[in-house]
Amino acid sequence: MNPSSIDKSSLRIGFAGTPDFAAVALQTLLENQHQVVAVYTQPDRPAGRGRALQMSPVKQLASRHQIPVFQPQSLRDEAALVELKALNLDLLVVVAYGLILPEEALNTPTMGCWNIHASLLPRWRGAAPIQRAIQAGDAETGVCIMQMDAGLDTGPVLHRLNTVITSSETGGSLHDRLATLGGQALLEVLQAHHCGQMPGAQEQAEQGVCYARKLSKAEAEIDWNQSADAIERSIRAFDPWPVAWAMLNNERIRIFAAGVLPETATEPSGSIVGVGEEGIRVACGQGQLAITSLQKPGGKKISAADYYNAQRWAKK
């Protein structure tokens, strides 16, 4: 069927997503009276201390709105594909779903599958575009509505919205802003379709491609041989997960905020060179880092000044 022949006011939309980022987009669709007829999300997973099965944020939202929920282990399974085809979808919106869609699934909806990707493609294809953009010191990022193909975030872009990355941006704050921006971008493309003014899909440039590899706990340990600038960006990028950490006074300390000082330290990288109003100063490969917010094992997040004062009293 030709997509232009579809009644633009009554698209049968399916939604595939799992975490909070995806739930924001689904909520946006529902608030704007789009017809979401089915939701795909990952199977319930054990979570918390009791390891009880927990529904994904997307499933919780879909259940509240009484939308049918599908949770296949894989969309490569023949039964899952038959189920998908039976929905007669015009469009499947995919946001941080977490499962690979085979080409047969991508081609099942009349208009194919649209993905909300949290970067300005082709920069930062892959799993962790939000954090890698902060870590790299990018001045801006954004979201793209992409027509999905069989590649990893390689499809043509239907629409993009840009936003500045501020000097205080964390992985958490940028995540929340881009989730909202993604919902806005999706609505704009759907509105354009409704008006018969769909933008032409733009093939991604071959230049400027880079990949945002998945975050790991292992990389959260601070390498003091890096520059203070690079370490400070990683601290912000890794908040709220996996959270940067380092050994201070023989304790594993989680670090949430720090400032960059231009002074060059003569001490080896990783040495505490002083404590003052600006925080706990640590020598880096280039410059010094002033830690301002941290957390001891089993404790609450505190200021560097409170941590230092507690250490002083403990030694008396």
* Structural domains of the chain, ranges and CATH numbers in brackets: 3-212 (3.40.50.170), 218-315 (3.10.25.10)
Comparing C-alpha atoms, which of 261, 311, 302 is closest to residue 281? 261
Q: pLDDT band at 107, cuts 50/70/90?
A: very high
Tell me the per-residue pLDDT of 41-82, one tens digit each, with 9 for 90 and over.
999 998 878 888 999 999 999 999 999 999 999 999 999 999
**How many alpha carbons lie under 13 Å from residue 258 in its C-beta half-sphere?**
36
Higher-pLDDT residue of 47 and 234 is 234
Say yes or no to pLDDT of 7 above 80. Answer: no
Q: What is the dihedral of CA 231, 245, 173, 130, to 10 degrees?
A: 60
Tell me the per-residue pLDDT of 244-274, one tens digit each, with 9 for 90 and over.
999 988 899 999 999 999 888 889 999 999 9
Q: pLDDT band at 314, cuts 50/70/90?
A: very low
Say yes or no to pLDDT of 293 above 90. Answer: yes
Determine the pLDDT at residue 273.
Answer: 94
Q: What is the dihedral of CA 150, 152, 158, 163, to 10 degrees?
A: 170
Distance CA 217, CA 158 (A): 34
Q: pLDDT band at 294, cuts 50/70/90?
A: very high
Determine the pLDDT at residue 312.
Answer: 58
Contact 196, 4 (CB under 8 A): yes
Mean pLDDT of the chain: 93
Q: What is the mean pLDDT of residues 147-173?
A: 98
Say yes or no to pLDDT of 19 above 80. Answer: yes
Contact 157, 208 (CB under 8 A): no
Q: pLDDT band at 9, cuts 50/70/90?
A: low
Q: What is the mean pLDDT of residues 14-39?
A: 97
Determine the pLDDT at residue 79.
Answer: 96
Q: What is the mean pLDDT of residues 101-128?
A: 98
Say yes or no to pLDDT of 315 above 60. Answer: no
Comparing C-alpha atoms, which of 95, 5, 102, 83 is closest to residue 37? 83
Determine the pLDDT at residue 311.
Answer: 66
Percent of the chain with pLDDT over 90: 84
Percent of the chain with pLDDT over 70: 95
Q: What is the mean pLDDT of residues 175-202?
A: 95
The whole-model pTM stands at 0.93
Distance CA 266, CA 16 (A): 54
Determine the pLDDT at residue 192.
Answer: 94
